[in-house]
Each structure stands twice: as structure tokens, then as C-alpha cells.
């Protein structure tokens, strides 16, 4: 497969890990998180931790994070790039967040004091309930019936990338610039004049495909092919669901058609991932299907 783009696609597994998942590029991740996290939280340093976490018993499921880091004060950061909608996505995020909480447990006379846990999700889609909104960043915490924060050490942050529509000329904040880069990097031919900060100078250098080793290039080609195949399946299934809903001519028909389209999309994605030799845990993560459903494909 010939690569025509100058820069990598951050929504591919390879591209995401290339930019944010290695010690030499830790400064890129720190700068990005400092723009995304609440204003009172600023990271000076962090350590990459193992991305696979096992449950406490053999019967527990395991969690595989895209990136998992620990801050210098013990804060935990889960950073996920989510390419497609899946069933029970929010449930999975809450379940995943329980692992960094449980691992803080100590034997003996522990007082149960916990460090903060942050889950950052970079989404290549918009939640159904947000379709009428144009908000990019969503911050979620546990609150009481008066909307007062009950517990401030567990925070979920979601970035709905399709909602980011600013042009290069409209970029004002560093947050804007990060969103622009993540969304448009593979479409750019050069580093825009507005992105002259040192962190973006390094990012564009790291992302330049011409600088890859032959092994890196091959790995990226495979990752890009998987991403494009996945997007094609998603787009086709979504359109089929819309057409089925329109054919019914009713609200119920639209909902049913969309639901059936989503399920068929998940099955098709799972079939393709299984054929590519992907592990069942990863297939579950992208599709929301059960182990039994995956085994039966």
C-alpha cells in the first residue's frame, strides 16, 4: 500500500502510540493532557505504567488501556483513542477506571486515601445524546441531586472530535491547536504558521512518515489499513441503518433501523478483527460484543 500522506493519522493504533506512547515523546503527552485536564490540574512529569490490568481473581475480566500513566503525585491517567461507537462504552470506561482505584489498596492499617483517577477519551464519534450539541470537551464527575460534586478524585473527560470545526485562522488557545492537529494531521502538507510552539515542532517531526524506519512504515501501513477498513464498515452500516429507518417512515422505524445497523456494524467489525488475528479482549473493546458472540463468529 503506497502512503500518500506526509504525516501519520493519530486515530490509528500505531499513530497514537507513536505520538504519545513512548518515553522520548512523553513531553507531547504531558502538554496535551495539561490542555485537556481541569485547569487546577497541571502535570510536570509522569511515568508510563503497564497497559494491561488483570482482575483480582481468575474469574475477573482484564482491562487493556491504550495508555496508562502515573503522575509524580500518584495521580492515575487512562488515555484512550476510541474510533467507533460500541455498546456499553460508558460502562466500560467506568469499569476500566476501577482498576487504577483498586491497585491503590494497601495491606495493614490503610486509611483508604486515594489519588485522583482521570480517564481521557478521544472520540472519533459523537454520543447520540450529544447530536444536537456542538461541544467538544465534556467533563464528568460524581455529583449529588443538587449538582454539587460529591467526589472530586474520579473524573471522565471526553473529546468528541467531530464537533471540533474551527479552521486554522480561528485557532485561539493551545487546546484549540491540539484539537486541530489531532483532527487534521494526516491532511496537512506542512506545519501551519499558527502552530509554531516548540511542542508542535516536535510533534510534526515525530509524525513525518518519511522519517520512519522500514519496520515502522510497515507497522503504520497495517494500522492505517485496519483503521480505513473499520471506518468503511462503520459508514456503510450507519447509512444502512438510516435508510431502513427512513423506509419505515416513523420515529420507531428510524430508531430500530439505526439500532439494527449498529449491531450489524459491530458484527462486521468483529468478523474482520477476528480474521486479522486480533485478541478477543480487543474485539470486545471495539464492538461491545460478548466473548460468546465473538467465539461464534
Is residue 86 one of the residues assigned to a domain? no
Residue 292 lies in a domain: yes
CA distance 85 to 266: 9
pLDDT at 109: 87
Residue 279 belongs to domain spanning: 213-297
3-state class percentages of the chain: helix first, strand second, coil last, to nearest 5:
50, 15, 35
Higher pLDDT, 269 or 45: 45
Cα 75 from Cα 224, distance rounded (Å) = 32
In a domain, 267, yes or no: yes
Residue 277: which region, alpha, beta or left (left: phi > 0; alpha: psi -120 to 50)? left
Confidence of residue 129 (pLDDT cuts 50, 70, 90): confident
pLDDT in tens, 145-189: 999 999 999 999 999 999 999 999 999 999 999 999 999 999 999
Write the pLDDT tens digit of every residue in 116-127. Answer: 999 999 999 898
CA 67 to CA 81: how far, in whole Å?
Answer: 9
The answer to whether 149 touches 133, Cβ cutoff 8 Å, is no
Q: Which of the residue ranges 73-77, 108-112, 252-256, 280-284 would you say has the lowest mean pLDDT?
A: 252-256
Number of structural domains found in the chain:
1
- Band of residue 279 on the pLDDT scale cut at 50, 70, 90: confident
Which of 25-29, 206-210, 250-254, 284-288 shows the lowest per-residue confidence on average (mean pLDDT)? 250-254
Residue 110 lies in a domain: no
Residue 60 pLDDT greater than 60, yes or no: no
pLDDT of residue 241: 54
What value does the mean pLDDT take over residues 45-59?
A: 70
Residue 217 lies in a domain: yes
- The pLDDT confidence band at residue 273, using thresholds 50, 70 and 90, is confident
Split at pLDDT 50, 70, 90, the class of 89 is confident
Given a cut of 50, is residue 1 above it in pLDDT?
A: no
pLDDT the model gives residue 275:
77
Instruction: Report the side by side order of strands in the sheet with 67-71.
Output: 46-48, 67-71, 76-82, 117-123, 149-160, 137-143
More reliable by pLDDT, 63 or 222: 222
Top pLDDT among 211 and 260 is at 211
Q: What is the mean pLDDT of the chain?
A: 85
Amino acid at each position: 500500500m503506497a502512503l500518500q500522506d506526509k504525516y501519520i493519522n493519530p486515530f490509528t493504533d500505531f499513530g497514537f502510540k507513536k505520538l504519545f506512547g513512548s518515553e522520548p515523546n512523553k513531553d507531547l503527552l504531558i502538554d496535551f493532557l495539561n490542555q485537556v485536564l481541569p485547569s487546577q490540574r497541571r502535570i510536570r512529569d509522569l511515568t508510563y505504567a503497564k497497559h494491561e490490568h488483570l482482575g483480582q481473581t481468575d474469574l475477573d475480566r482484564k482491562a487493556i488501556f491504550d495508555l496508562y500513566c502515573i503522575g509524580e503525585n500518584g495521580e492515575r491517567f487512562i488515555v484512550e483513542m476510541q474510533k467507533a461507537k460500541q455498546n456499553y462504552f460508558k460502562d466500560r470506561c467506568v469499569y476500566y477506571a476501577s482498576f487504577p482505584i483498586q491497585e491503590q489498596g494497601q495491606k495493614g492499617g490503610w486509611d483508604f486515601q486515594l489519588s485522583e483517577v482521570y480517564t481521557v477519551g478521544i472520540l472519533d464519534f459523537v454520543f447520540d445524546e450529544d447530536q444536537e450539541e456542538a461541544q467538544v470537551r465534556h467533563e464528568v464527575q460524581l455529583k449529588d441531586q443538587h449538582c454539587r460534586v460529591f467526589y472530586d478524585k474520579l473524573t471522565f473527560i471526553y473529546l468528541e472530535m467531530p464537533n471540533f470545526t474551527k479552521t486554522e485562522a480561528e485557532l485561539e488557545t493551545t487546546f484549540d491547536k491540539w484539537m486541530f492537529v489531532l483532527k487534521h494531521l494526516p491532511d496537512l502538507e506542512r506545519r501551519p504558521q499558527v502552530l509554531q510552539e516548540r511542542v508542535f515542532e516536535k510533534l510534526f517531526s515525530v509524525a513525518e512518515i518519511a522519517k520512519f524506519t522500514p519496520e515502522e512504515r510497515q507497522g503504520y501501513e497495517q494500522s492505517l489499513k485496519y483503521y480505513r477498513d473499520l471506518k468503511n464498515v462503520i459508514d456503510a452500516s450507519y447509512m444502512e441503518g438510516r435508510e431502513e429507518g427512513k423506509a419505515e417512515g416513523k420515529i420507531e422505524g428510524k430508531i430500530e433501523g439505526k439500532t439494527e445497523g449498529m449491531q450489524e456494524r459491530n458484527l462486521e467489525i468483529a468478523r474482520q478483527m477476528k480474521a486479522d488475528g486480533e485478541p478477543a479482549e480487543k474485539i470486545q473493546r471495539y464492538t461491545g460484543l460478548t466473548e460468546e458472540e465473538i467465539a461464534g463468529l
